[in-house]
Amino acid sequence: MPRGVVTALAFDSDGGIIAAGTDKGAVLTWDARSGKLLPTPPAGRDEVWALGFGPHGGSLAAGYLGGSVRLLDPRHGRDIRPARQAGVGIDSVAVGRTGTLLAAGGHGMLWSWPVGARRARARRVVPDSTQTSLSTDGSAGAFSAGDGTVVLWDVAHRRNLSRTLRADFGQAVDVVLAPLGDAVAVAGVRSISVWDTRSGERRVGPLTATTDLEAGIVEVAVSDGAKTLATGDSEGNIVVWDGVAGVSLGAPLDVGKSGTRALALSRDGGRLAIAGGPGVLLTTLDEHDWQRRACGLANRGLTPAERREVGRGGAVSVRELDPCGRSPHP
């Protein structure tokens, strides 16, 4: 990818814009329906670790490895506010309903910048947190610890949302809150569970996402209410799940030995974005037959037979988003 390898992905609230961050500090946005590349802001100084859209897609927060946090205009490619500095290792960002910019990471830290504030309000939620996640509106946070527990945090009231969760599989490799903060997906090396954040009760799982002894879960994506989940492992196997019934929607999809670098689901669960090859691959999910319609995700061109199969009954539902602004592949 000319502007770096994709390291983070996010959809806006209605799934109309997809954003990607790269290891070269670039933030790219596309119209998810047409595949058109939107104006691009100047790149940051280091790797993008986290992306999060504000209300109605009017803003986009970007968190960087070195601890800087930017608030961008995703449609016009410009900074809305000057960059703010938090601690090293930002792995989750959000924009609150009132415009407050939030970031989490850096060994269990939470930072917030109300509109107009230059200095952050900082709080350590968990002393030894290894993974963090913020809800889309920044109202809730999830912080995993090295002992296998997950603390669910009410950001506004600065208190626990519910009892501390304990994973069945030891230390979590990824923790992802649903957009509204009502559910959290907790993944171990080979399995994933979904919990209700208010009651602290498990909704579904553990679900075995990979049986490959050489592979492990590295990325998780969650739709509204955790009704749809996606897991990606280090060998590039993607599984999409019905998060209510606890069943996979088809067999695992192989996107190549480069592995899964980032995943994102639209809030309605209808679109899945994958960074597993040189760029970003976007597909419309069909819960009854999604794998057949996504056969082009293997980081290669479709064969004539696959083109006929995927295109049967309508337009091809898989496209590679081009970082140079060219038209998507026909």
What is the predicted pLDDT for the residue at 296? Answer: 37
Contact 158/139 with Cβ under 8 angstroms? no
First to last CA, the chain: 19
Percent of the chain with pLDDT over 90: 48
Q: How confident is residue 278, by pLDDT bands cut at 50, 70 and 90? A: low
Residue 24: CB partners within 8 Å, gap ≥ 6?
A: 3, 4, 5, 43, 47
Q: How confident is residue 213, by pLDDT bands cut at 50, 70 and 90? A: low
Of residues 151 and 258, more confidently modeled: 151
What is the predicted pLDDT for the residue at 247? Answer: 87
Contact 31/16 with Cβ under 8 angstroms? yes
Domain boundaries, the chain: 6-321
Q: Is the pLDDT of residue 106 over 80?
A: no
Q: Is the pLDDT of residue 202 over 80?
A: yes
- CATH number assigned to the domain covering 6-321: 2.130.10.10
Q: Is the pLDDT of residue 299 over 60?
A: no
Mean pLDDT of 283-299: 49
Polymer length of the chain: 330
Mean pLDDT of the chain: 82
Our CA dihedral for 183, 266, 98, 106, rounded to 10 degrees, sits at 60
Q: How far apart are CA 39 and CA 324, in angstroms?
A: 11
Q: How far apart are CA 218 and CA 260, in angstroms?
A: 7
